[in-house]
Structure formats: structure tokens, C-alpha cells
A and B are shown apart, each in its own frame.
Chain A
Amino acid sequence: MRDLVFLGSWLVLVPIVMGGADLAVMLWAWTSLLAPNDVLYGVAVAVPFAKVAAILACLLLVFRRNDVQIRLGRTGWLLLALAFGAVLSQSLTVMADPAPGWDLCQKYLKILALALVVLWTITDRIRVHGLLLAICLGIGYIGVDEGAKFILSGSGHKVLGSPSIGDNNQVALDVLLIIPLLQYLYATASQRLLRVACAGGMLLSAVTVIATFSRGGFTGLVIVGLGSVLASRRKGLAGALLVVGLLAGGAFVGADWTNRMSTVQEAGEDSSFIGRVNAWKVSTLLAIERPLLGGGFHAIQHGEVWMSQAPGFSDLDFIPTGEQGSFPRAAHSIYFEVLGDLGFVGLACFVALLAFAWLEAGQVRRLVRRSGRADLLWAADLASKLRVSITAFIVSGSFLSAAYFDIDYLLIGLASALRFIVIRALKEKPVAVTLAGRTAPVHVPAFAATMPALTGSRPG
């Protein structure tokens, strides 16, 4: 039955998105994040929904341009460099069986393509809000579903993972990243129903992160909480809500959860943590052996590649972790994952991509503040929230294999698109969008006239 409903909804969705490439990109983002094939069981399970949306988006980019702006900028070039590096690394991989690596490589190329078309098609406020809603709906499904199950089961339900996202740690990180975006949507929504939905989504997403029993996820949740307080215009209220939330959460979760989180302090003696450091060492050794290419996608998870680094393992004994072991492990860090897979060049591109997104979000806030433009305050608010999400990813990702997630690159593309939107808007006459959708002039303070030229300005 659910398959028929889902297929039926596409009969409505496809005619709507034929209106423009931007709409198809929103559908693509939603479908990629929702991964509907994981929750369908009948006739629709074999339908490649994300592929259909991607093909629609690409066709519409050619035949139905609707304010599409083909540009690359720093982010676009880095995305292309990563795509080139990914194909090259996988083509010259060290793996005996490269087939699983090619699957991941193809997935990664689609993710990079999605981020690139976000840069090109998300060119104004309405489109930004549409994409934000699509992202929050896509990931919000698992956030709301698992969070509600955890509450209804009296904290007995444990999130084990999802076929498309990965294990519990990866689900925690994915869900975590939309909480700041939901906060932004909550603050800007004018309809009560939407505000209630955003508030519920935030609460249940936070509960889902807790229900994963992920220590990396919990660290990220703390960062999102503190970052949200600092980014909020009403810091006192936000801080009070955070304290109440922590107290309520602490009273609800069981002793096993508290015991699990307390092991963060004993990381040096934790076998799980030591195993991760071993994987980081193997990734580093592989990258030293092949600095330009790396070993290919998730190469160290293959037994022969893992053991090939055994002779040099003792070279990194200045970090004491004991024996390497014969059982291959995942990298458990976005940085070491990219380092082992794509080499030092790929890591440099990946880190630069994250750094630029973080700096560009800061630049948006600074530009809006200096301009004094009331009609662009939304962009500054969104940039603050994007920065919180990106910071959570940068920190929590240090302990999780999550370098090839859709949401990471969507946030990066969104930050870059937002910067382009603000720079373009600052060149135009200031306007305000009223509730009726019409425009009205806005009072611009005198100091806005002293604003420096923006085209040549750099983030920092």
C-alpha cells in the first residue's frame, strides 16, 4: 500500500518539478536523503527514485533553465577536483576486488554532482528555503521515526543504523546536522503548523542522536547545543532551553546510556578507541605509500590492503596502540578516511572544501551586518546555523566514517550558494519580501553607503 502511495506521489511531483531545474534539484536532494527504497517493500522497491530525480534535474538544467547560473568559484573547482581524484584513485586502486569501491565511487560522484547543481540552481531566498525544507524532510524521516520509537518504548529502543546511511554513529551524525537547520526554519516560519513541525522535528532528532548510543554523536549534540545558544539572538532563552533539555534528557535515559557516554573519559584504555587509532595509522601508512592517489574507496577495509601495511606499522609507534591486528577496520574519521582513500591531495581538497564553507558562512554574516540590510537578515541567520552544522560535522566527523554523505556536501553547496546570493543582492536595490509575496522598499542606514566593494572581498 505504501508503495502505491509513494509511486502515486511521484505522479504529482514529476509535473511540478518540470517547472525548473531548481525544483528537480530539491526533489533529488529529498530523495537521496530519504532513501525511500529502504522503507518500501513492494512494487516500488526496485525503482531508482534518486536516479530519476537526478536525470530530471540534468535534463532541466539544459532545457528548462530558470535563473540557473553556471559558475564554479572555489567550491565548484574543489568539487570537480575531488571528482577527478576519486575516479583516478579508484581506477588505480590497490584493492584485489575493486567492485565495492566502484559502487562507493559512483555514489560519491552523484553526491558531488548534487552539490554542484545546488551551486548553480539555488539562486534566491525562496529556493534556499525550498532546499532547506527538502533536506529537513529527507533526513527528518529517520530523525522523527527513531526518536518517537525511543520515547514510546520508554528509552528501550536502540537505533542500530539504516541500510543507506550506515551504522548507529553515522545515523547520529546525519540527524544531528539538520537540527540547526530546523532551528532556522522554526525561527523564520510564519505558520503555526510549520513551527510546531520544526520544533517537534528538532526535539525528536535530538532524541534520535541520544538513542544511537553514539559517543561521537553525543559530542556533536553538545556542540550543536552550545553553538545554537551562541548563534541565537536571544541567548538567555536559548541557554535556559538547553539546560532544561539536558536535565529532562538526563532523567529519561537509562544507566546503560550514561555508562556508555562516561567511557569517553577512558578513551586511552578503550579497545574500540585503540582500534580506531590503529585504522588511522593504517590509513596514514597507505597515504604515505601512495600520496597522490591513496588506496581507493575504503581500501583499508580489505584484508590484503590492511595487512600490506603491517611491515611499516611500528614506524608510528610514537602513538602507543599495541598490535595492529589482522582484522581490517573502517577508518572511523572523515579525515583519515579521505587520506587513505584519496591520498594527501584528496585530503587537502576535502579540508579546503570544509574550510571554505565555514569561512563563507562567516563572510555572509559579516557582509549582511556591514550592509545594514534588513532584507538580508535571514541570510545572516541561516549562515550562523550552517556554521553550527559544519562545525558539528568537522568535530564529530573526527571519530566517524562519514566523508561521503549527501548532507555534508549539500551544506557545503548551500553555504557557497548563500554567499553568491548575498553578494548579488548587495549589488541590487534593497527590497523586503512581505507576507503577500510583494516587495516593498526598505530603509537603509547611512553607514551602508560606506560598504566596501564586495566582488573582490575574501572570506576570513
Chain B
Amino acid sequence: MDAVLLVLECVAIVLVLRWVAARQGLGGLLGWKPDAPAKTPGPTRR
């Protein structure tokens, strides 16, 4: 039971931190943003 609980703990803390990061629109390591679209449009050139 200890091992199962520990695995659940790990999953839960990942979800919690990911939730907080996503709600703030934060980028993580190397600018990785969990909920960001794959490509963001850059500035348009006239």
C-alpha cells in the first residue's frame, strides 16, 4: 500500500504543479509551456 500511495503522490503533485503553471501561463524549462499551442504567430512584416 505504501508504494501505491507514493506513486499516487507523485502523480498528484505533478498535476498540481502543472495546474498552477498552466493557470499562470508559465513557461518551464527552455520555455516549455504545458498548455501553449504548438506554434505561436510571430509579428507580421509589412
Mark A residues whose CB is within 8 Å of B: 1-2, 5-6, 9, 12-20, 22-23, 26-27, 30, 34, 36, 39, 66, 126-127, 129-130, 133-134, 137, 141, 144-145, 148-149, 437
Additional 8 contacts, C-beta under 8 A, given A14-B29, A15-B32: A16-B28, A19-B26, A19-B27, A22-B20, A26-B17, A39-B6, A141-B9, A149-B1
Contacts of A127 in B (CB 8 A): 20
Bound-state CA distance A127–B19 (Å) is 10
Contacts of B26 in A (CB 8 A): 19-20, 23, 66
Determine if B16 and A437 form an interchain contact, defined as CB atoms under 8 angstroms apart. Answer: no
Determine if B14 and A13 form an interchain contact, defined as CB atoms under 8 angstroms apart. Answer: yes
Determine if B16 and A6 form an interchain contact, defined as CB atoms under 8 angstroms apart. Answer: no
Interface residues on B, range: 20 to 34
Query: What is the interface of chain A mostly: helix, strand, loop, or mixed?
Result: helix
Instruction: Name the distance in Å between A37's Cβ and chain B's nearest Cβ.
Output: 12
The list of the 3 closest CB pairs from A to B, nearest first, reads: A19-B26, A9-B10, A130-B20
Q: Mark B17-33, 1 if CB is under 8 A from A, else 0.
A: 11111011011111010
Contacts of B30 in A (CB 8 A): 15
Mark B residues whose CB is within 8 Å of A: 1-3, 5-7, 9-14, 16-21, 23-24, 26-30, 32, 34
Given contacts A19-B28, A66-B26, A126-B24, contact A13 B5 (CB under 8 A): no
Determine if B7 and A16 form an interchain contact, defined as CB atoms under 8 angstroms apart. Answer: no
Determine if B29 and A15 form an interchain contact, defined as CB atoms under 8 angstroms apart. Answer: yes
Instruction: Name the distance in Å between A27's Cβ and chain B's nearest Cβ.
Output: 7
Kindly report which residue of chain B lies nearest to residue A24, judged by CB atoms.
Answer: B17
Kindly report which residue of chain B lies nearest to residue A8, judged by CB atoms.
Answer: B10
Which of A5, A26, A30 contacts B6, CB < 8 Å? A5
Determine if B17 and A27 form an interchain contact, defined as CB atoms under 8 angstroms apart. Answer: yes
Determine if B5 and A144 form an interchain contact, defined as CB atoms under 8 angstroms apart. Answer: yes
Given contacts A5-B7, A13-B14, A30-B13, contact A437 B23 (CB under 8 A): yes
Determine if A17 and B17 form an interchain contact, defined as CB atoms under 8 angstroms apart. Answer: yes
Instruction: Name the distance in Å between B14's Cβ and chain A's nearest Cβ.
Output: 5
Kindly report which residue of chain B lies nearest to residue A31, judged by CB atoms.
Answer: B13
Bound-state CA distance A23–B34 (Å) is 14
Determine if B6 and A12 form an interchain contact, defined as CB atoms under 8 angstroms apart. Answer: no
Determine if B34 and A16 form an interchain contact, defined as CB atoms under 8 angstroms apart. Answer: yes
Determine if B6 and A2 form an interchain contact, defined as CB atoms under 8 angstroms apart. Answer: yes
Determine if A20 and B1 form an interchain contact, defined as CB atoms under 8 angstroms apart. Answer: no
Bound-state CA distance A360–B33 (Å) is 36
Kindly report which residue of chain B lies nearest to residue A12, judged by CB atoms.
Answer: B14
Bound-state CA distance A14–B23 (Å) is 18
